[in-house]
Amino acid sequence: MTTETLSQPAVTIEIERLVHAIEYSHDPAFRITIDPSGKEVTACTRLTHHTWKIKQMYDFIVAADGYEMSEYLRAFQEGCQDVGIEFSPLVGITCLDESESRYLSPEETLNLLVERIRERTRCEWYQRKQHDRSYQAKRNERAAESYLNKMLERYARLMIVRVDLSYLREAFAALRVEQVFQDFDRLMVERKRSSVFKHEVGHICSVEQDESGFHIRTTFFFDATYVRSDWNKARSIGELWRRVTAGRGGYSGWNHNKNHRANELGIGLLDRADEATKEDVVHVMRCVARTMQPLRIKPVGAKRLRVGLVR
């Protein structure tokens, strides 16, 4: 087992990897056999390395009150509860056997935990969650396209600015998802009174999670009658994010990328009359909505997708 301390987003991904590996495998965590002398022999399997950080996974999941969790985290949580996981300073991970007459070895305990998690991955609620995510992605696609079309009905020309808001590496270890949502809320409040967002007419923003941690993918639409410089807007939004996060935030502006055609990235000027560019931008917006990276955990009731109103 590793002693490396995992951040909150990192430990949720480790749990997901473990549950996903269990779902698509028939292996135990350890293969336990008896040799001719009667001695117990344990051997690693393809699942073994997924259990090396089990203590941090367990510590995280037992303290995960007040969160909405992915099906992977829920399967792990229910598996741990069913088995009755304990940690002994001398032995490590253990639990009582079914007759409650003895404590199991770490290898036996992990094998039992794998069995219980595998049972959860076959439950209807677990399978339904995966189908729901696919269905929601298609709904997001249609909503993004409809939203863009409604704005073009209202405004003849739009300036589209895309900025990915993230956190500096030194902030990763202590970062928690509730802090991300608090920072996101503060940004939305600042948006209403900052000159940076003067002439903003719409937005699509989502809190997401990937291998590097939490980030916020943003697309802001400005009335191009008044806004001419998209890259300057992107920089200003990024700098506002840094102030909102007290210097912990970083950003990457898509509008600074001049090596590609703007419409292929869904950035820059969009004229209602330019059907070819409009088709390209609609395609980009649909892709952005469809490929939103899932959050493994979020505060109960928190809204991860924010879409503005057409004024």
Does the model's pTM come out above 0.85? yes
Is 129 part of any domain? no
Percent of the chain with pLDDT over 70: 96
- Rounded mean pLDDT of 271-293? 86
State pLDDT tens for residues 59-85. Answer: 999 999 889 999 999 999 999 999 999
User: Per-residue pLDDT averaged across 79-100, rounded?
Assistant: 92
Let me know if residue 2 belongs to a domain.
no
User: 81 and 146 share a domain?
Assistant: no
Helix (H) or strand (E) holding 208: strand 200-210
Looking at the fold, whether 114 and 159 belong to one and the same domain comes out as no
202 and 226, same domain (yes or no)? yes
Give the domain-ending residue among 122, 156, 190. Answer: 122
98 found inside a domain? yes
Please indicate, yes or no, whether residues 158 and 112 belong to a single structural domain of this protein. no
Mean pLDDT of the chain: 91
- 299 shares a domain with 151: yes
Q: In the predicted model, is pLDDT for residue 260 greater than 60? A: no
Q: Note down the domain range covering 150.
A: 137-307
The per-residue pLDDT for 263 is: 61
The pLDDT of residue 185: 95
How many domains does the structure of the chain reveal? 2
Max Cα distance, the chain (Å): 85
Query: CB–CB of 164/251 below 8 Å?
Result: yes
Residue 307 pLDDT > 70: yes
In the numeric block, the tokens 């590793």 are attached to 2
Cβ atoms of residues 174 and 198 within 8 Å: no
Q: Over the stretch 117-176, which tens digit does the pLDDT of each residue have?
A: 999 999 999 999 988 988 888 888 899 999 999 999 999 999 999 999 999 988 888 899
* Tokens standing for residue 2: 């590793």
Q: Looking at the structure, do residues 199 and 231 belong to the same domain, yes or no?
A: yes
Domain presence at residue 216: yes
Per-residue pLDDT, 262: 62
